[in-house]
């Protein structure tokens, strides 16, 4: 089978796309640095050996393997081996509870489960030293023809089961190759997000393998370790992360010049303006923005930070606004076992984000969650606007605003902060009808496994009372 990135249509049961799309570069090229270098020849050999182990345990073309693995070389190897075997990879974040994993396995019935039998110690380590075991689970074919199954982060409610085909993954890798501002062959990506989730998986691992970009996870998830990873080579470096990581770096003072630092690109929720300013003031490099969803991957970008918070849709992606909601072209429903016209219908994915599309430029501006529009005494209030204002107050590290019988603020202080002082600061900046009716101060706001702030009212209430 030949897979052309722009026209190819690889099937889940045909694993040849892995070799053709991801192992097409020079055999001696380093693709991972952990910190030991792993070149394409070594990675390919490890993948072939893992494929044999998976097959011996019962994995078949058209079947599925569940990977409950922390970020590690073992995770990368078993993921690629699963696809190479023509099987579906079910990605289970290693931080999920046994109960959550058990429910997922019962629903998705993989043929094998891959999980650690030994994990090397290392607090805050980004990549771990893992020895994996393979356990047979169910002698059934995969529940769908998708190449990968992911669980949504669940920032606003229960997780969804989302599937993407091999052709869809290849098409997204192609979209990355057409973007102005991505890391180029011979450069490096300092990889901070988990490869279990879409940004780290496609924007990091798959694009890096295809394009000949070296992936460099820092030794630890600290600002100093990220800067050390940038400084470890003369090759240009792009840091790929989420807003949490921007705040981490903005608070870290470099030991010296970093001419290798090319840019930082972030996915996930919008970066507060104050955090973005602190980052660019400190490092003087572009802070690029990506907007995407697990269901379709990257939707649009602003990799030079010229249009923040607007983005330009990626190649092959159509975006429209219907009743104030952004909708994205998606030929087939990405949901497994879910038929919900409020999420997908007639070839369009409902993002549940509010936004606008500039007819002259095509730029898309994301205005926040669609459900952030509330009415207070007959006056319309955008909770996103209020949340931004609160998050930018001195002494505030992060904030989430929700509607809970009134505007309610959950605030994580950055140092000493009382409710009285916070109320006074809010009153100086927001009209009375926009102000939170209730304020809760929390040592740590709850976050999803991808670092997004949780916006579930029930979860926030629980965090405030625990």
pLDDT digits (tens, 9 = 90+) for 22-65: 998 889 999 999 888 999 999 999 999 999 999 999 999 999 99
Whether the Cβ atoms of residue 135 and residue 88 lie closer than 8 Å to each other:
no
Write down the mean pLDDT value for the chain.
Answer: 89
Model pLDDT for residues 362-374, shown as the tens digit of each residue: 999 988 777 677 7
Residue ranges in 116-188 assigned as alpha helix (H): 166-177
User: pLDDT-based confidence at 343, cuts 50/70/90?
Assistant: confident
pLDDT at 156: 44
pLDDT of residue 322: 94
Residue ranges and CATH numbers for the domains of the chain are 16-168 (3.40.50.980), 377-465 (3.30.300.30)
Contact call for residues 95 and 101 (beta carbons, < 8 A): no
Residue 405 to residues 277, 306, 375: CA-CA distances in angstroms?
Answer: 34, 38, 11
88: part of which helix (H) or strand (E)? strand 88-93
If pLDDT is split at 50, 70 and 90, which confidence band does 1 have?
A: very low
User: What is residue 120's three-state secondary structure?
Assistant: coil
Please give the pLDDT value at position 339: 63
pLDDT of amino acid 2: 38
SS3 category, 225: helix
Q: Is the pLDDT of residue 7 over 90?
A: no
Most confident segment among 97-111, 200-214, 298-312, 393-407 = 200-214
| pLDDT above 90 as % of the chain | 63
Query: What pTM value is reported for the model?
Result: 0.83
Q: Residue 252, by phi and psi: left (phi above 0), alpha (psi -120 to 50) or beta?
A: beta
Instruction: Give the span between the Cα atoms of 440 and 422, in whole angstroms.
Output: 10
Using the structure block, give the residue that is written with the tokens 């991808």.
Answer: 450
Look-up of token digits 């006074």: 424
**Which strands form 130-136's sheet, in the order they lie side by side?**
130-136, 112-119, 64-69, 88-93, 148-151, 161-164
Within 251-360, where are the H helices? 273-283
- Strands 214-216, 237-241: pairing kind: unpaired
Beta-carbon neighbour count of residue 387 at 10 Å?
27
Q: Which of 173, 188, 264 has the alpha carbon at shortest distance from 33?
A: 188
pLDDT tens digits, 167-215: 999 999 999 999 999 999 999 999 999 898 899 999 999 999 999 999 9
Question: What is the dihedral angle through the alpha carbons of 197, 203, 204, 205, rounded to the nearest 10 degrees?
Answer: 80
Which of the two residues, 298 and 159, has the higher pLDDT score? 298
pLDDT score recorded for residue 425: 92
CB 46 within 8 A of CB 125: no
**Is residue 334 very low, low, confident or very high in pLDDT (cuts 50, 70, 90)?**
very high
What value does the mean pLDDT take over residues 103-107?
A: 91
C-alpha dihedral sign at 72, 73, 76, 81: negative
According to the model, what pLDDT value does residue 3 have?
A: 46
In angstroms, the CA 28 to CA 38 distance is 9
Res. 222 pLDDT band, cuts 50 70 90 = very high
Which candidate, 163, 79, 75, 176, places its Cα nearest to that of 126? 75
What is the DSSP track for 360-401? TT--EEEEEEGGGEEEETTEEEEHHHHHHHHHTSTTEEEEEE
DSSP element (H, E) containing 408: strand 407-413
| Residue 238 β-bridge partners | 189, 263
Q: Radius of gyration (Cα) for the chain, nearest Å?
A: 22
List residues bridging with 399 in a β-sheet. Answer: 411
Tell whether omega for the bond before 35 is within 30 degrees of 0, i.e. cis. yes
The CA distance from 215 to 238, in Å, is 10
Residue 91: Cβ within 10 Å count: 20
Measured in residues, the chain has a length of: 466
Residue 353, SS3 per DSSP? strand
- Predicted confidence at residue 403, as pLDDT, reads 87
Predicted confidence (pLDDT) at residue 12 exceeds the cutoff of 70: no
Please enumerate in sequence order all residues whose Cβ is within 8 A of that of 180, keeping only pairs 6 or more positions apart, or say none: 303, 304
Model confidence band, residue 282 (pLDDT cutoffs 50, 70, 90): very high
pLDDT at 370: 76
What pLDDT shows up at residue 155? 44
Longest dimension (CA), the chain: 67
């Amino acid at each position: 089978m030949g897979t052309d990135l722009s026209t190819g249509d690889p099937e889940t049961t045909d694993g040849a796309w892995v070799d053709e799309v991801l192992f097409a570069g020079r055999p001696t090229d380093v693709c991972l640095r952990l910190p030991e270098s792993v070149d394409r020849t070594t990675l390919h050999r490890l993948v072939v050996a893992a494929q044999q182990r998976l097959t011996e345990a019962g994995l078949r073309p058209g079947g599925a393997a569940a990977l409950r693995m922390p970020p590690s070389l073992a995770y990368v190897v078993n993921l690629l081996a699963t696809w190479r075997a023509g099987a579906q990879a079910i990605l289970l974040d290693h931080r999920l509870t046994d109960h959550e994993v058990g429910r997922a396995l019962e629903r998705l019935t993989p043929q094998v489960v891959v999980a650690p039998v030994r994990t090397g110690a290392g607090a805050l380590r980004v990549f771990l030293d893992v020895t994996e075991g393979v356990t047979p689970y169910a002698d059934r074919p995969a529940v769908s023809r998708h190449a990968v199954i992911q669980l949504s982060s669940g920032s606003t409610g229960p997780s969804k089961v989302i599937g993407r085909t091999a052709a869809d993954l290849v098409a997204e890798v192609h979209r990355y190759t057409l973007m102005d501002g991505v890391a180029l062959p011979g450069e490096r990506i300092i990889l901070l997000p988990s490869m279990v989730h879409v940004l780290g998986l496609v924007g990091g691992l798959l694009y890096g393998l295809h394009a000949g970009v070296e992936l460099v996870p820092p030794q630890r998830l600290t600002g100093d370790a990220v800067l050390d990873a940038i400084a470890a080579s003369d090759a240009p470096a792009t840091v790929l992360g989420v807003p949490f990581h921007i705040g981490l770096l903005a608070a870290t003072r470099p030991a010296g010049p970093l001419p290798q630092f090319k840019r930082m690109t972030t996915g996930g929720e919008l970066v507060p303006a104050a955090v973005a300013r602190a980052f660019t003031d400190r490092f003087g490099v572009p802070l690029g923005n990506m907007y995407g969803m697990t269901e379709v991957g990257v939707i649009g970008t602003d990799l030079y930070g010229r249009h923040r918070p607007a983005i330009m849709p990626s190649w092959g992606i159509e975006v429209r606004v219907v009743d104030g909601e952004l909708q994205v072209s998606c030929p087939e429903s990405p949901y497994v076992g879910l038929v919900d016209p409020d999420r997908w219908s007639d070839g369009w994915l409902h993002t549940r984000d509010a936004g606008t599309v500039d007819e002259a430029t095509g730029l898309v501006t994301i205005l926040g969650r669609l459900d952030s529009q509330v009415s207070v005494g007959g006056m319309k209030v955008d909770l996103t606007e209020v949340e931004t204002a609160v998050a930018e107050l001195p002494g505030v590290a992060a904030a989430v605003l929700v509607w809970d019988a009134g505007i309610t603020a959950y605030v994580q202080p950055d140092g000493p902060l009382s409710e009285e002082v916070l109320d006074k600061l809010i009153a100086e900046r927001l009209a009375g009808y926009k102000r939170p009716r209730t304020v809760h101060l929390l040592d740590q706001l709850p976050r999803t496994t991808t670092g997004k702030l949780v916006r579930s009212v029930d979860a926030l209430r629980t965090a405030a009372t625990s």
